[in-house]
Amino acid sequence: MSRKRVAVLISGRGSNMAALIDAAKDKNYPAEIALVVSNRPDAGGLQVARTTGIAIEVVDHAKFGKDRVGFETALQAVLEKHRIDIIALAGFMRLLTAGLVEKWHGRILNIHPALLPAFKGLDTHKRALEAGVKTHGATVHFVVPEMDSGPIIAQGAVEVQPGDSEKTLAARVLKVEHRIYPLALKLVAEGRVRIENGRCLVDGAPVPESNAATPSSA
Ligand code: GRF
């Protein structure tokens, strides 16, 4: 089995990156983490990545000013240089243009700390608490040009507890993120996910809209 070559794109602490790296240590996992890319030279996750021997590239967006296309041309060049098959965004805090996203259609994933389509954007845990939702969670989805809107591959839910703060809720959701991202990447790398009418089918069947962290066929 040839393993898919994955680039994990980060901007910060990189805990989801670390979860993907851990999962890919298993020789039977269908993807290898071939590259870590950061748009920030000071991203905490780079220190973790450096201990793994995985190739690292820093494409510093600040050097490109407002030139998004210049930044993405440099990004695309490193992805090609490392013969990347799949991109996994993991706390990557740059919006990508439609040009780049369309080039990677069906091969670029993101993790979002909410049950999409609820709470797109930032401060998801704060907004979930303010809204009084009883169930919150995380979503892995394909990236489309519109932010946090692509077809959903996997979701995992947590109950909101009385007395939860943003911090306690975020910590509980993060554990779910670390579980569902490796699962979703596995399904995509195995070629088991098909996009049909904006929805993901896994092995030809619809993904349950909630708590699809462990589809019985996975
Ligand atoms: C995660 O909560 C992820 O869902 C969001 O950004 C955060 C990144 O955390 N997109 P980490 O860098 O993976 O620890």
Give the chain's domain count.
2
Q: State if residue 16 touches ligand 1 by the CB under 6 angstroms criterion.
A: yes
Are 117 and 99 part of one and the same domain? no
Looking at the fold, whether 82 and 182 belong to one and the same domain comes out as no
**Does the pLDDT at position 206 exceed 70?**
yes
Q: What is the CB neighbour count within 10 angstroms for residue 118?
A: 15
Output the CA angle 169-22-215, nearest 5 degrees: 65
My answer on whether 26 and 80 are in the same domain is: yes
13 close to ligand 1 (CB < 6 Angstrom)? yes
Domain range holding 97? Answer: 1-104
Average pLDDT across the chain, whole number: 94
CATH of the domain at 122: 3.40.50.170
Q: Whose CA is nearest to atom 5 of ligand 1?
A: 91
User: What are the pLDDT digits (tens) for 93-127?
Assistant: 999 999 999 999 999 999 999 999 999 999 999 99
175 and 99, same structural domain?
no
**Ligand 1 pocket check for 73: Cβ under 6 Å:** no
| 112 annotated active-site | yes
Give the list of residues 6+ apart from residue 172 with CB closer than 8 angstroms, or none. 158
The pLDDT > 90 percentage for the chain reads 93
